[in-house]
Amino acid sequence: MGFIIFGVMLLIAAIALPKTVLSESKTIVKAGVSVVLVALGVMMFFMTSYINVPDNTTAHLTRLYMGKSLPTGKVIAVDGEMGKQSKIVRQGFHFDFMVRVLNDVDYVNDVVIPPNKLGIVSARDGIPMPVGQTFADKIPLDMILDADLFMKTGGQKGPQTTIIPPGTWPINQFLFEIKLADATEVEQGMVAVIKSNSESSINFGDVVVSSPESCEPVDNKMDENALSNRLVPVGCVGIWNDDLPPNRYYINPMVYKTTMVDTRQQAWEYQGGYHSRSVALTVDSKGDITQVPSGKDIERPATAKDGAIAIKIDGYTIYQNVRALIQITPQNAPFIVASVGGMDQVEDRVITPAIQSSLRDLAGKFITLTEAVIDAETGKPTLEADGTAKTRRVRRPIEPMDFVEHRDLLQDLVESDLVGEALKAGVTLREVRFLNSDIPPEVLIPRKRKQLAFQMKETLIEEEKAQLQRVAREKAAATADRQADLVKAEIAVKKAEQVKLEKKALGEAERLYLTELAMGEKARTEVLGADRVMTLKMTEIFLQTLAENPELVKLVGKLVPEVMVTGDAGGAGSMAVLAKGLRGSPLASLLATPAPASSQ
């Protein structure tokens, strides 16, 4: 404004000075002064009639003079009214007569949207949106870059559906308020499900869809037992029936709510969160078994979806740790979001309750299995004629030890129950696997003691075998050490056998000799008579005795006729004399024995 006043004063001076102060001066002087003053005045006016806008900047104008008042409720002037103007002046030199006099000029930096960001736009002026509409209709980006066009072609006041992508943008910030937001990154292995709050055409870069012709809900049920849901075509208000594949999208988070769904195979584990008890069995040197109880708290891992599942069977509580492998296909992702809400809801409302219920229901179920026929006495399987184990089919209630011995059957039962339940929510259950089973020690102790007893028995058998082997080795060693003695003993044995044979031969010869002798005596007796043979025999014995005992010869001198003996011619008298002389000797009793009567 000062330039204008000063310029006017210079023009007045250019007219007045030649007539007053310079009235007596030469004409050329008057003309020269007037020209200079006019030029200076025009320069003052020129100084208010241009704008030089720096790079990356726009000039925002606010009309101060020579304009009509804005209508009530309007914020932006379109036709030169007083106030903030819809037109902005972009970078460069611009001439506009008295623009800096009629307007207040603000130099505003361009809007800069960094990479991986987007600009959310809200219009401070425009036509009102219809009742019930939350976001303005989709418009081209050019209408946001040209506020005058926006105001003159029906741009709606309020939050805009259109966003500003990364870059530097000359935008009328009197009209538009810009806020930064993050771009939507859909990582590999994920899909994005969109819930739209506005019906419009879509341009997300790789995803371009014109305004939908119909927004009737789409039937996307897996089967008649699936959870209820409501999906709509892309571009309609509601949850779209198509997902966004992995990519970067510049999506207005005020208009479109994005739910990320993991389509990779996931392992959900249920572990820990219980007190584990155990009993250790020890055996002392006497073979006595001692039970040592212990216990510890099993913490729930941070990555576990929930704790181990408690199952009550036969009055015992078994804590079963479980891992479930699940997967959500991209086609089912919108269905899951519409029917359940998201992955957290799938876990809390579908999978976890289903797994817990299925495992706890095992307590009332039966299993059919093939068992070996066990011999009651030996405790071992009974064998068929071909040597294979004899088996039988058994259907019985589930027992605590089945979680160890028949866990595959129990896993199959649980898995078959869960597949259908998971599919109702659009989840594909790949498998269920039992991890550690925490079985009460009261169930395990009898089995452990039996196993320990069998182990002790087997140990004793092996020790006995080892002892026999040791004795055999020591015997072999001792035999080797006493080999010379053994040879002598063997020779002695053989010699004894020879002596035995020799004695046997001598005995046989003696027997034959005596037999022949007896036969000769018998023949002599038959010839001489028994009494004669007897007398001769006794005489032989007497003479033999005298030969063996010379001292008996001395007795002959003592043989005096103190006794008179008479007898027959059989020699009885001489025998009586001999008996008298041998009194007290062994032969006395023999001589005193009467002779047998002779047979006639």
Q: What is the 3-state secondary structure (H, E, C) of 204-255?
A: CCCCEECCCCCCCCECCCCCCCCCCCCEECCCCCEEECCCECCEEECCCCCC
> What is the rounded distance in angstroms from the CA atom of residue 179 to the CA atom of residue 163?
10
CATH (domain of 322): 3.30.479.30
Same domain, 544 and 410: no
Asked whether the CA dihedral 12, 18, 19, 22 is positive or negative, the reply is positive
pLDDT tens for the chain, residues 1 to 600 = 555 555 566 556 666 656 665 556 666 666 666 666 666 656 665 666 778 889 999 999 998 888 888 888 888 999 888 989 999 899 888 887 777 777 788 999 999 999 999 999 999 999 999 998 889 998 999 999 999 999 999 999 999 999 999 999 999 999 999 999 999 999 999 999 999 988 888 878 777 788 888 888 876 655 555 666 788 998 899 999 889 999 999 999 999 999 999 999 999 999 999 999 988 877 776 767 788 889 999 999 999 999 999 999 988 999 999 999 999 999 989 988 888 888 888 888 889 999 999 999 999 899 998 888 888 777 778 888 888 888 889 899 999 999 988 999 999 999 999 998 888 888 999 999 999 999 998 888 877 777 777 776 777 777 788 888 888 887 777 777 777 777 777 788 888 888 888 888 788 877 887 787 778 777 767 777 777 767 777 777 777 777 777 776 666 555 545 555 555 544 555 555 555 555 555 545 544 555 444 443
Domain encompassing residue 538: 529-592
Q: Which two tokens stand for residue 328?
A: 């959500």
Q: What is the largest CA-CA distance in the chain?
A: 244
Among 381, 415, 447, residue at a domain's last position: 447
Q: What span, in angstroms and rounded, lies between the C-alpha atoms of 560 and 169?
A: 184
Is residue 197 situated within a structural domain? no
Residue 128 in any domain: the answer is no
Asked whether residue 94 is assigned to any structural domain, the reply reads: yes
Domain-terminating residue out of 415, 447, 479: 447
Helix segments in 63-130, DSSP class H: 99-102
Last residue of a domain, one of 394, 418, 447: 447
Integer Cα distance of 445 and 442 in angstroms: 6
281 with 427, same domain? yes
Cα–chain center distance at 46: 83
CA distance 416 to 432: 9
d(CA 445, CA 422) in angstroms, rounded, equals: 38
Question: Rounded to 5 degrees, what are φ and ψ at 370?
Answer: -100, 125
Q: Structurally, how many domains does the chain consist of?
A: 3
Q: Within a domain: residue 262?
A: no
Kindly state whether residues 322 and 438 are assigned to the same domain.
yes
Token pair 């023949």 is at which residue?
523
433 lies in the same domain as 552:
no
Is there a domain that residue 351 lies in? Answer: yes
CA-wise closest residue to 136 among 146, 126, 145: 126
